[in-house]
Amino acid sequence: MAYLKIIDKGKGVNRLFIGGVHGKEGLTTIKALKKIKDEDVSYGKLVIHNCDESPYLSTLDPFYYQSEVGKEVLSLIDYYKPTFYVEAHCYNKKNFPKLTSTNRMNEKGVPPLIELEKGVLVGSASPSIRTNIFRKEDVCITLEMPCNPTQESLNICLDVLRIFAASRTREEIENSIKELYPKQLQTAIKYAKEFFGKYPPF
């Protein structure tokens, strides 16, 4: 399940894709991450890392980043200093209502995830790292697909990953997402302003 690939196309933006950061999610996330090819990156660097199985602890838990895998995530971010960061997850379909509930802010202290389509969800990375480690101009997202995804769901995840892999700037990412999912982008901007204040949309 552990997997590491570095695609280096010279100077430019640093990107980091991490999957399987808790539990057995890596069995699913690796299906998407391994499909990213060298030709998907034309500029800068992309580091792809899928973690080994680990005890399940939510990234929203204040103790997560003190765990072994949490420290591994922090170490990767510190070493590669990505401008674009995608944290890939999978979820049990029965949890879809909780993840997308408008009450999630009250229940978990974070905005609901937004469905792109076919059960693929997007939201900000954990506030613990978004506000404390990354710069406000960085783009940091959580990308969730159903565990044991359909080919359609997997393809949608890959579309998003490839946008991040190919883009050189935040504007390029936002324009590409807007073209595919304009309503979802507007919702993401709304949630970000409500939660992060002056922080950019993702």
- In a domain? residue 81: yes
Nearest to 44 by CA among 164, 161, 138: 164
Report the greatest alpha carbon distance in the chain.
44
In a domain, 202, yes or no: no
**pLDDT for residue 200:** 54
Cβ distance 67 to 54 under 8 Å?
Answer: yes
Number of domains the chain contains: 1
> What is the domain extent for residue 151?
3-196
- Please report whether residue 161 resides in a domain: yes
Would you state the pLDDT for residue 176? Answer: 97
pTM for this model (two decimals): 0.95
Residue 110 in any domain: the answer is yes
Residues in the chain, pLDDT under 50: 201-202
Residue 201 lies in a domain: no
Contact in structure between 120 and 159 (CB atoms under 8 Å): no
- The answer to the question of residue 192 being in a domain is yes
Residue 133 lies in a domain: yes
Residue 167 forms part of a structural domain: yes
